[in-house]
Amino acid sequence: MFERLYVMLMKEFLELRRDRWALFRLVVPLLIQMVVFGYAATFTVSHVATAVLDLDQSQASRELVSHFVATGRFDVVDVAGSQDRITSDIDSGRAVVAVVIHAGFARMLWNGQGAPLQVVVDGTNSNTALIALGYISQIVTQFQASNTIQSLSTRGGAAPLTISITLQPRPWFNEGLNDRWFFIPGVIGTLTLIQVVSLTAFAVVREREVGTLEQIMVSPIRPFEFILGKTVPFFLIGLGDVALVTAVGILWFRIPFVGSPTTMLLGATLFLLAALGLGLLLSTLSRTQQQAFALQFFLVNPLFILSGFAFPIAAMPQALQWFTLINPLRYFLVVIRAVFLKGIGIADLWPQLGAMALLGLAMLTLSILRFRNSLD
Amino acid sequence: MNLRRLLAMAFKETLQIWRDPRSLAIALLMPAMQMGLLGYGVSLDIKRVPLCVNDQENSQLSRTLVQKFVASDWFRIAETLPDERAVRGAMDRGACAGALTIPVNFSRTLTTTGTASVQVVFDATDANTTDIAIGYAQGAVALANQDVASQWLSGHGATAVLTGTVDLEPRVWFNEGLDSRNFIIPGVVAIILGLVGAQLTSLTVSREWERGTMEQLISTPVAALEVMLGKLIPYFLIGLFDAAFCLCTAAFWFQVPFRGGIGTLVLTTALFTLVVLGIGYLVSVRIRSQLGASQIALMLTMLPITLLSGYTFPLDQMPGPIRAVSLVVYARYYVSILRSVFLKGSGVGQLALPILALVLYAGAIIWIAARAFRKRLD
């Protein structure tokens, strides 16, 4: 058995070596994608283009605007002269946020009426809008706080006018709320999945289309050995991929890696098994490379989108949440993020690791069965 | 250019599509499946964040405060923790995204000193969700403060005349309910069309090479331009069908408000389909093995389209060089066009810039692809 497996492996590696561009295609695009997407994937909301219409022109109104600018979250791109200008700023997309301070703002602020402040937000990007609104209400709260104290001290009152609870938010594992720390481990997992599935999806069907599958069928090799021979080289490539992109994440993007490399290796191994199983299954399900390719396009994108890479699984409808249970990327992302940021080990991660092992076994077995059927 | 030869080529390609019903089924069914999966799956609406509560005081006031967290569906209580040490374990296990700790002397500290603090620990692995959840927590505390303050004031027989308060009136335009679906679904349509289109044409020439039919094709009098157009026409029709299907699903099934004109939509969709098919064809011409062609096509489409088109990640937040790279990602123009046409109701005039970019793109791709194909065997 080992001899046949060895021959099969030799054949696979020879085929890889014959392809002069293979190494280039395996490494260079991966590195480029890692760097570009590492920078691209962010939900940060800062330097939002803001238009200001100050109809009050008082000290208070100018102070309020300076509160906006001071946070670094909002950049004033247009000091508008009229309400029409504000409308056209938002319509054309020149500004995403518009702050309108009506005449009489300062007067109403001091005589206790509650000064109205109008803020227009372009809701086209609902996420940016929601976060920007959160920042705006914080800024307004701060502005009020600084002014309440001022008004109290000018009236000479010493006793607290009212009492209040304060909130101390403590973000753990990522104190600076740097969302690159969240996305880069995700990019690592996604790139690995795409690379491995795209390599293995063609493994069997190419032999079929080129006509070499008949030759393999007449050789004494068993389906199990054939699939294993197809798996091992891609597994090694996949492991190399994970190591490469993880190194970029740590060394280039400076993402803290507080966990243990062993947990990471175990997670990557189980994930690769599942990804390889998926690719091989696709390959045995297709008759032509065109079909394998289409199937792969058809599957990888939902796997990527429905993995919790960017969109929280908890926000999905229940039926789709169940669907994500058969998605190996979903589990790997939990593992890889936990290893990078939380530093927890197998004791806490066994459900994810177990799920990936099960998925991998199931898909590899299915592809061996499918392959055996297709031999008859 | 000979119309008869062009039609013959288109007919041959149609026959080939027709004889591979599995691929055709994938081309027609894939958009439906993807619209279903992505349309429902892609949501950034963060609600009912799982919260662990460690209420060490358990007084009326502390319970009121917890109640404010659960109100308006911001948080849901996942677990009640016995002590502060349990917080770490719960966070490690991922049992909750936030843990609220109310200290023992909470009520007394509040009434004697006028202020008391509560702590919420967040699992900030997902920074975006945490950012939004912190906003929710602040909202909950603000609600509690209103109650506390009015009770305190009435208890002291005081009437509040607070000066220095600002009434914030937020107005959200174009997507009034801040529904993330309205923001994302037009992008999903662009992604699906980008993927389907590239998938359709990226193997069309390399397949001829690998199957050995290229020799036959070359020996016929058909010209390079006729091969290209002949191959593109049937796929263009499939692409338009897919586009119509996806756009109708977005507007009628997912109820994304459609405020623009049909004409703008048809024009830009046709342009985008042309660009996408052209790119696939170009890849196919340049790379003779189907494996290589598919890898390049996948690499050129899936991640660039999802990450650099502005469909989820705002382009204006990316560093300068990455923004520059995104200029060549053709999907970004179509994403911004679709979003404006749907939500803002923009017309051709306001969209002149992205439309021009698509026109240039289509022209350049077609020109390069036409020149890249040579009727030679070496």
DSSP secondary structure string, B262-282? HHHHHHHHHHHHHHHHHHHHH
Q: Report which DSSP code applies to B76.
A: E
Residue of chain A whose alpha carbon sits nearest to that of B168: A117
Nearest Cβ partner of B172 from A123, A288, A304?
A123
B-chain CB neighbours of A174 within 8 Å are: 124-125, 127, 130
- Restricting to A residues 140-169, those with a Cβ less than 8 Å away from any Cβ of B are 140-141, 143-144, 147-148, 150-151, 160-169
pTM of the entire predicted model: 0.82
**Locus of tokens 């602040």:** B138
Band (B375; pLDDT cuts 50, 70, 90):
low
Cα B348 to chain center, whole Å?
A: 23
A-chain CB neighbours of B163 within 8 Å are: 109-112, 147-148, 151
pLDDT at position B244 is 93
Q: Whole-angstrom Cα distance, residue B331 to residue B344?
A: 19
- Restricting to A residues 262-291, those with a Cβ less than 8 Å away from any Cβ of B are 286-291
Chain segment A111-128, per-residue pLDDT in tens:
767 788 889 888 888 888
Is A202's CB within 8 Å of B174's CB?
A: no
Chain A contact for B272, CB < 8 A? no
Nearest Cβ partner of A167 from B120, B162, B166?
B120
- Restricting to B residues 320-339, those with a Cβ less than 8 Å away from any Cβ of A are 321-322, 325-326, 339
pLDDT at position A125 is 84
Q: Which of A360, A357, A335 is nearest to A259 (CA)?
A: A335
Residue of chain B whose alpha carbon sits nearest to that of A41: B313
Q: Whole-angstrom Cα distance, residue B250 to residue B181?
A: 10
Per-residue pLDDT of chain A (376 residues; tens, 9 = 90+): 778 888 888 888 887 777 777 777 778 888 888 888 888 888 888 888 999 999 999 988 999 999 988 888 899 999 988 889 988 888 888 888 999 998 888 888 877 677 888 898 888 888 888 888 888 888 888 888 777 665 555 554 444 556 677 777 787 888 878 888 888 999 999 999 988 888 888 878 888 877 787 787 788 888 888 888 888 888 998 999 999 999 999 999 999 998 899 999 999 999 999 999 999 898 888 888 878 887 887 788 889 888 988 888 888 888 889 989 999 999 999 999 999 988 888 888 999 999 999 999 999 899 888 877 766 5
Q: Whole-angstrom Cα distance, residue A99 to residue A115?
A: 14
Residues of chain A within CATH 3.40.1710.10 domain(s) are 48-155
Chain B nearest CA to A85, separation (Å)? 15
pLDDT at position B163 is 56
B-chain CB neighbours of A178 within 8 Å are: 127
Report, in this order, helix, strand and coil percent for chain B, each rounded to 5: 65, 10, 25
CA distances from B253 to A174, B40, B247, B249, B341 (A): 39, 11, 10, 5, 17
pLDDT at position B161 is 52
- Restricting to B residues 176-235, those with a Cβ less than 8 Å away from any Cβ of A are 176, 178-180, 182-183, 191, 195-196, 199, 202-203, 207, 210-211
B-chain CB neighbours of A127 within 8 Å are: 44, 128, 180, 183
- Restricting to A residues 195-254, those with a Cβ less than 8 Å away from any Cβ of B are 198-199, 202, 206, 209-210
Ordered structural domains, chain B, with CATH = 3-43+179-372 (no CATH), 49-155 (3.40.1710.10)
Question: In a mutagenesis test of the A interface, which of B209, B303, B336 is the best target, namely the one with the most A β-carbons within 10 Å?
Answer: B303
Chain B nearest CA to A276, separation (Å)? 16
Confidence check: pLDDT of B378 > 70 = no
DSSP codes, A56-87? S-SHHHHHHHHHHHHTSSEEEEEE-SSHHHHH
Q: Which of A279, A275, A266 is nearest to A353 (CA)?
A: A266
Q: Whole-angstrom Cα distance, residue A26 to residue A31?
A: 9
Q: Whole-angstrom Cα distance, residue B223 to residue B365?
A: 18
CA torsion sign for A169, A170, A175, A180 is negative
DSSP codes, B299-316? HHHHHHHHHHSSSSS-GG
- Angle of helix B352-372 relative to helix B224-248, nearest 10 degrees? 140
pLDDT at position B157 is 58
SS3 B38: helix
Which CATH architecture best describes the domain A48-155?
Answer: 3-Layer(aba) Sandwich (3.40)
CB-based burial, B254-265: b 16+ in 10 Å, e otherwise:
bebebebeeebb
CA dihedral B50, B56, B57, B58 (to 10 degrees): 50
Residue B68 makes CB contacts below 8 A (sequence gap 6+) with B140, B141, B143, B144
Nearest Cβ partner of A121 from B46, B170, B211?
B170
pLDDT at position A150 is 57
Confidence check: pLDDT of B195 > 70 = yes
Chain B contact for A127, CB < 8 A? yes
